[in-house]
Each structure stands twice: as C-alpha cells, then as structure tokens.
C-alpha cells in the first residue's frame, strides 16, 4: 500500500514533522515506562519472576492480534483519525491504572497494560507511514533514525520521571519486608502520575485531530491475502528476517525492561531508573549507526559486530561476580555516578549492541521483494511480538523463586538471539531459496 500526502500544495514540513516527532516521543515514553513499572509492581504485589514477566507480555502481545485490525481501522477512518484514536485508547488505559492501584488486583494491571498496548499498536500503525511520506524519499532513512533517537530518548526520560514522582518517595524499602501501609502508600502513589499522563495524551489526541497534519491517501490497494503472504515468505531473507526481528525485540525488551528487576534483586536502591542506562546506550548506538553506516561500515558488518558484542556481554553478565563494580568505578564514579554492579552495567551496554540491529535487518529482509514489499513490511512489524515472549523465557529460566543468582544465570536465554543475528548477517540475508 503506497501512501502519499493528499495535498498537492507545496507546504513546509516543519509542523507535520514536529507533530510526528512528538508522537514518537510519546510512544517511547509509554513503552519504556514498563522498565520502571515492572520492578515496582513486583515489589508491591510480591510477584514471582513469571508473574512479573506477564506485565510486559500483556503489553507487547497486543501487536500480535491487533496489527491487522489496526490497519483495517486506519483504512476506514484515515491515518490522522487513526492517530487520535490510538492516543484516545492510550488515555483510557492510563485511567485503568487507577482502579488497579486502588484494589491492588494484578489482573487489572495486566488489563491496563493490554489496553495500552492496543492503543500503541494503532498509533504506531498510523504514524509510521508519515515518517517516510512526509518528506523527500531520499532523506527518509535520516528521518527514521531521528524518530528512533526520539523514541529511545524518551526511554531515558521516562524512568527518571517515574523515579522522581514515585520511587523517590519510598527510599529505604528495597530488600525489606513491606507492611500493608507501605504497600498501600506505594500503590496509591501511582494514581496521580497516571491521571496526569492520561489527561496529557487525551489533550494531544484532540490536538492531532484538529491539527494541520495532512492526510495520507493510498495510491494502491493493499495486496494482502494468504497467497501473497506465502509468496513473501518464500523469500528466505524475509522469513529469516522476521525471525531475527522477533528475537531482536525479545533481547531489546529484556535489556531495557528487566534491568530494573535485576537491580532490585541485587538491592540497588535506585532500580527504577536503570532502564535509562540501557536507553542511553541505545541512543549512543543509533548515533554511531548514523555516522558510520554506510560511510565506514556496511549494514551487514554493523549487524555482525552487534551480534558479537551482544554475545560477549551476555557471557559477562552470566559469569562476572555480582559484587564487582570495576566498570562503574571507571565509567560512573569519577563523574559522580553510582557504583553499580558490573553485571547491571553490562546488561545496560546490551542497548549499544542492540541499537543498529533493527535498522540493519529491515533493508536486508526487504531486499528483492518488489511488489511484495508492503506485505513483507507487515510481517516484519509482527516481529514486535518478540517483546512479549522474551521476558517470559527469561522468567522461566529464572525459576519460581526470586534470587539475584537465579536472575543473573537466566540471562543466558539471550545468547541464541545474538548467534542468530550473526548467522543472518553472514549468510541468512543472502539466501535466495530454501533449497
């Protein structure tokens, strides 16, 4: 499905780009807030690792069953209305956290997460085409990279806000048995921040609805159907690319959203801000990718290097002593930072290894698809569902009891992903047939 701006009048792209940039920041903020919310709920509700993983599962699984319906909704109501509807759904989800916090019923938190994921899927489906179509095609890659930086930059900001507004009010409770009064106070502290976020997103939905953002129209009918999906998957580079993106989102979410839970198990007081460390590393990786690819290294070489770095970091995470702070003493403490355990910092550095994987896989997976490119893109988007299963696999490897040792050892589940990235970079993307 080709989408173009519906106006023939030459207009400045500044306002539309500013609106789209704001939406990408909101998407990143709501997504990476999970990294702080997960250990916080784990502490309040005394969740097992598997139960805690469902917080992320319920959010990311929405992509699996709402991606296609979202496309149909947008086809019916338009891209701009689709953005507004997506944000309205996210606003409803924000309000759902109020009864969840008041009752401390885990199922209500999961339902709120699910609704938030549905809203995000609808918003992403509507906003992503604008990045490509709102400006010249030859500069689309630069716009995609900028939006990626904004998305991950929001991931730096969101945990800091969560920590400042919520966690900072409850210092000294890490590693201690919480009284019911402590639990009630911690749960109730979620109410007003989520009310504020819901109202802000709702106001933004109205602003987008009545904004000068130009509508996109479809030049061609979407070429869907089982026949075209089968034809697209007959291209090994696409089928393997879908698997690579599934595994990528799995390790991205593990590194970004479970680092807080691991820090909590180690007794780190400021566990709520740990996701920010991973996101800083991802932003640094994006910037390096923009500078180096393809001027200095190719997409394939960047993907190979990322795979090797990720593999080495996971080996370090699972084998280095949890008491060691050598990295922090060299990188953080001299600048006034905390003496975090090396294993926590290595998990954050996985963000650097992961940063260029997404932008490297997409062009390699879509190469040679021709008229099947739109179908292939839709299948690649489905790979986001990996974010639902990565934390679940990690929790199953951890076991039923919460222990720092168990969580540290469980991170080996990321190794197969990095091995697959290396295979895809060296051979998988070159395959032209399954024979």
What DSSP string runs through 164-187?
HHTGGGGTT-TTSPPPHHHHHHHH
- Whether residue 104 has pLDDT greater than 70: yes
For 229, the token pair is 């999906």
CATH number of the domain to which 389 belongs? 1.20.1250.20
Q: Are residues 178 and 285 in the same domain?
A: no
Task: Outline where DSSP puts E strands in 15-85.
Answer: none
Domain end call among 195, 215, 235? 215
Kindly state whether residue 275 falls inside one of the protein's structural domains. Answer: yes
216: Cβ contacts below 8 Å, ≥ 6 apart: 3, 4, 5, 6, 78, 79, 129, 130, 133
73 compared with 312, residue with greater pLDDT: 312
Q: What is the Cα–Cα distance from 365 to 429, expressed in whole angstroms?
A: 7
pLDDT band for position 257 (50/70/90)?
very high
Q: Please provide residue 201's backbone torsions phi and psi, each rounded to the nearest 5 degrees.
A: -65, -40
**Over residues 372-390, mean pLDDT:** 83
Q: What is the Cα–Cα distance from 125 to 356, expressed in whole angstroms?
A: 22
Mean pLDDT of the chain: 87
Q: Are residues 307 and 410 in the same domain?
A: yes
Residue 373 β-bridge partners: none
Distances 217 to 81, 95, 137, 148, 401 between C-alpha atoms, Å = 13, 33, 16, 24, 53
For 189, the token pair is 């502290």
- Whether residue 1 has pLDDT greater than 80: no
Domain end call among 179, 198, 215? 215
233: Cβ contacts below 8 Å, ≥ 6 apart: 239, 242, 379
Domain end call among 215, 248, 265? 215
Q: Are residues 231 and 120 in the same domain?
A: no
How many CB atoms are located within 10 Å of the residue 185 CB? 15
| Residue 141 CA to its chain's centroid (Å) | 19
**For residues 289 and 301, is the Cβ–Cβ distance under 8 A?**
no
> Residues 319-338: pLDDT tens digits?
999 999 999 999 999 999 89
Q: What is the Cα–Cα distance from 432 to 302, expressed in whole angstroms?
A: 22
Q: Are residues 101 and 248 in the same domain?
A: no
76: Cβ contacts below 8 Å, ≥ 6 apart: none
- Whether residue 342 has pLDDT greater than 70: yes
Q: Are residues 257 and 139 in the same domain?
A: no
190 compared with 64, residue with greater pLDDT: 190
Residue 5, pLDDT score? 52
Residue 225, pLDDT score? 56
**Over residues 184-205, mean pLDDT:** 94
**Over residues 239-254, mean pLDDT:** 95
> Residues 134-174: pLDDT tens digits?
766 556 656 777 888 888 889 999 999 998 999 888 877 77
**For residues 60 and 391, is the Cβ–Cβ distance under 8 A?**
no
Q: What is the Cα–Cα distance from 329 to 333, expressed in whole angstroms?
A: 5
For the chain, what is the domain count?
A: 2
Closest alpha carbon to 366 in 341, 358, 68: 358
Q: Are residues 402 and 271 in the same domain?
A: yes
Q: Are residues 191 and 251 in the same domain?
A: no
**For residues 273 and 171, is the Cβ–Cβ distance under 8 A?**
no
Q: Are residues 109 and 136 in the same domain?
A: yes
Contacts for 175-182: CB closer than 8 Å, 24+ residues apart: 175/267, 178/43, 178/44
122: Cβ contacts below 8 Å, ≥ 6 apart: 66, 70, 73, 74, 82, 85, 86, 89
273 compared with 125, residue with greater pLDDT: 273
Q: What is the DSSP letter of 5?
A: E
**For residues 28 and 84, is the Cβ–Cβ distance under 8 A?**
no
Q: What is the Cα–Cα distance from 237 to 366, expressed in whole angstroms?
A: 8
Q: What is the Cα–Cα distance from 128 to 144, expressed in whole angstroms?
A: 9
**Over residues 8-19, mean pLDDT:** 67
Kindly state whether residue 82 falls inside one of the protein's structural domains. Answer: yes
Closest alpha carbon to 123 in 147, 146, 142, 100: 147
Q: Please provide residue 217's backbone torsions phi and psi, each rounded to the nearest 5 degrees.
A: -120, 150
**For residues 425 and 79, is the Cβ–Cβ distance under 8 A?**
no
Residue 138, pLDDT score? 58
Q: Please provide residue 5's backbone torsions phi and psi, each rounded to the nearest 5 degrees.
A: -70, 135
**Over residues 106-129, mean pLDDT:** 91
Q: Are residues 109 and 233 in the same domain?
A: no
Residue 7, pLDDT score? 45
Residue 142, pLDDT score? 66
Q: Are residues 279 and 418 in the same domain?
A: yes
**For residues 155 and 279, is the Cβ–Cβ distance under 8 A?**
yes
236: Cβ contacts below 8 Å, ≥ 6 apart: 428, 431, 432, 433, 434
In the block, tokens 């919520």 appear at: 166
Task: Tell me the residue range of the domain where 353 lies.
Answer: 224-435
Nearest-10 Cα torsion for 51, 412, 285, 260:
30
Q: Are residues 351 and 228 in the same domain?
A: yes
Kindly state whether residue 181 falls inside one of the protein's structural domains. Answer: yes
Residue 96, pLDDT score? 97
Percent share of the chain, pLDDT over 90:
54
């Amino acid at each position: 499905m080709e989408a173009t701006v519906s106006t023939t009048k030459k207009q400045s792209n500044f306002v539309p780009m500013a609106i789209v940039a704001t939406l990408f920041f909101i998407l990143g903020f709501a997504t990476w807030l999970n990294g702080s919310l997960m250990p916080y709920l784990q502490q309040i509700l005394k969740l097992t690792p598997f139960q805690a993983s469902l917080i992320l599962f319920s959010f990311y699984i929405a992509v699996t069953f709402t991606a296609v319906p979202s496309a149909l909704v947008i086809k019916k109501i338009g891209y701009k209305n689709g953005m507004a509807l997506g944000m309205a759904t996210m606003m409803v989800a924000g309000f759902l956290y109020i009864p969840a916090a008041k009752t401390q019923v885990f199922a209500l938190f999961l339902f709120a997460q699910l609704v938030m994921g549905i809203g995000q899927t609808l918003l992403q489906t509507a906003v992503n085409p604008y990045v490509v179509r709102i400006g010249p095609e030859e500069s689309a890659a630069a716009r995609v990279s900028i939006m990626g930086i904004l998305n991950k930059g929001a991931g730096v900001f969101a945990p800091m806000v969560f920590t400042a507004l919520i966690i900072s009010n409850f210092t000294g409770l890490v590693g201690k048995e919480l009284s019911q009064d402590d639990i009630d106070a911690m749960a109730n502290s979620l109410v007003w921040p989520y009310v504020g976020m819901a109202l802000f997103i709702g106001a933004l939905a109205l602003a987008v609805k009545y904004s000068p953002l130009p509508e996109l129209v479809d030049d061609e009918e979407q070429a869907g159907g089982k026949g075209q999906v089968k034809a697209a998957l007959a291209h090994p580079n696409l089928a393997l690319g879908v698997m690579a993106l599934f595994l990528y989102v799995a390790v991205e979410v593990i590194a970004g959203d479970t680092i807080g839970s691991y820090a909590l198990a180690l007794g780190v007081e400021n566990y709520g801000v740990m996701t920010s460390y991973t996101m800083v590393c991802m932003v640094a990786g994006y910037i390096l990718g923009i500078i180096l690819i393809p001027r200095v290294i190719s997409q394939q070489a960047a993907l190979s290097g990322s795979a090797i770095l990720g593999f080495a970091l996971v080996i370090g995470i699972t084998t280095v002593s949890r008491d060691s702070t050598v990295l922090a003493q060299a990188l953080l403490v001299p600048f006034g930072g905390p003496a975090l355990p090396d294993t926590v910092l290595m998990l954050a550095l996985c963000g650097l290894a992961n940063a260029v994987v997404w932008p490297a896989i997409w062009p390699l997976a879509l190469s040679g698809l021709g008229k099947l490119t739109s179908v292939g893109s839709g299948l690649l988007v489905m790979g986001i569902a990996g974010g639902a299963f990565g934390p679940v696999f990690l929790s199953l490897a951890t076991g039923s009891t919460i222990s720092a040792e168990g969580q540290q050892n469980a991170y080996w589940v990321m190794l197969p992903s990095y091995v697959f990235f290396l295979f895809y970079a060296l051979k998988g993307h070159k395959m032209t047939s399954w024979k």
